[in-house]
Homo-oligomer: A and B are copies of this chain.
């Protein structure tokens, strides 16, 4: 479903998307999903973002992490910001499944990344979550070890499957069905093309807040197939990948711009929202090797305004990834007969068309 917005003639922002307009446009990045839809109550899953195809523990990836609103259960963030690196894939799942998934991630890493000369006795698994309890039996913690393994083992560099897949299986945004969304932008610097890719898991927002390209779609669709709200306020997890050589400080600066992309869709960062951003670069990988006392690195100079293009790319990709999740997701019925309807695309297109400013 990649490039779905483009197919509907909707262009988000001013910058050029990458080849597939998804996070896997960043060379090396892979994504895998396990989707759990079983019986009437299980609507959940796991999504793995694998920064590169090598041994991530031994070729660590520079990263930054940011908490926008901390009502969330993400694990692994303090070490990201102390060391400026991640050493495992990133897993997304539901709120109450974080413990099991982080344990499963360890179980996967040990045989895959451990080497004979280096026993892994300390490992910082990265797991973030959204609350899918409106559709899913969340207390059941149905994401098991084999589901995590499947997401990791099937991760590929293909265009990201979006919508009702993986950790996005049971989520909602703006009281429409949501899911996984992804987008990318090209940044041209010093004669080279670099890519900023985003994968997001939007699970936030009241109906009337939704804005698409400035048009208050949520207000127009206020009463469209609306069910009583469930009280949980949702969350959003945003993963930003790039091949630009950025330092930890710069990766955190990029992460800070995610709020601006969320705001463009109408989000206001609710009280009970867990909003976490993890950003990483595939440039300047750090070897797990005590003999390497110094590292030679090339990095972007942000003493001047050149980094603004990276900020703009991030904001646009975050915005588009959220919209793409909504456009890709189909209606779902889940636990207790709860129903979450898909965004009615024809109506949306009609409202966009009726607005004076072109949406194409």
Give the interface size bracket for A toward B: 35 or more
Cβ-defined contact, B98 with A102, below 8 A: yes
A271-B304, A290-B305 in contact; A95/B121 too (CB < 8 A)? yes
Which residues of B lie under 8 Å from residue A219 when comparing CB positions?
A: 357
A293-B301, A351-B356 in contact; A232/B78 too (CB < 8 A)? no
Which candidate, A161-169, A243-251, A341-349, is the interface stretch facing chain B?
A243-251
Cβ-defined contact, B122 with A139, below 8 A: no
Which residues of B lie under 8 Å from residue A220 when comparing CB positions?
A: 357
Closest to A139 in B: B110
Cβ-defined contact, A249 with B84, below 8 A: yes
Cβ-defined contact, B83 with A302, below 8 A: yes
Return the contact of A311 from the options B68, B211, B270, B311 (Cβ within 8 A). Answer: B270
Any B CB within 8 A of the CB of A146: no
A291 to chain B: closest CB distance in Å?
9
Q: Which of A95, A231, A357 has the most CB of B within 10 A?
A: A357
Cβ-defined contact, B100 with A99, below 8 A: yes
Closest to A60 in B: B303
Within 8 A of B (CB), among A15-39: none
Which residues of B lie under 8 Å from residue A60 when comparing CB positions?
A: 303
Closest to A141 in B: B103
A322 to chain B: closest CB distance in Å?
13
Contact with B along A253-277 (1 / 0, CB 8 A): 1001101101110011111101010
A121-B133, A256-B269, A271-B308 in contact; A69/B82 too (CB < 8 A)? yes
A82-B70, A83-B303, A215-B356 in contact; A232/B122 too (CB < 8 A)? yes
Any B CB within 8 A of the CB of A299: yes
Return the contact of A75 from the options B75, B83, B119, B287 (Cβ within 8 A). Answer: B75
Cβ-defined contact, A139 with B125, below 8 A: no
Contact with B along A121-141 (1 / 0, CB 8 A): 111110000010100001101
Closest to A100 in B: B103
A83-B302, A263-B259, A302-B83 in contact; A67/B71 too (CB < 8 A)? no
A141-B106, A248-B247, A294-B299 in contact; A268/B257 too (CB < 8 A)? yes
A360 to chain B: closest CB distance in Å?
13
Contact with B along A301-323 (1 / 0, CB 8 A): 11111111001100100000000
Any B CB within 8 A of the CB of A72: yes
Return the contact of A301 from the options B121, B190, B294 (Cβ within 8 A). Answer: B294
Which residues of B lie under 8 Å from residue A133 when comparing CB positions?
A: 121-122
Given A70-B82, A247-B249, 19 more contacts at CB 8 Å?
A60-B303, A67-B82, A71-B79, A71-B83, A72-B79, A73-B75, A73-B123, A99-B105, A103-B103, A215-B356, A248-B248, A257-B268, A260-B262, A260-B263, A293-B300, A293-B301, A295-B300, A354-B356, A355-B357
A-B pairs with beta carbons under 8 Å apart, 12 shown: A69-B256, A70-B79, A96-B121, A99-B104, A99-B106, A102-B102, A122-B272, A214-B215, A248-B249, A260-B262, A295-B299, A351-B357
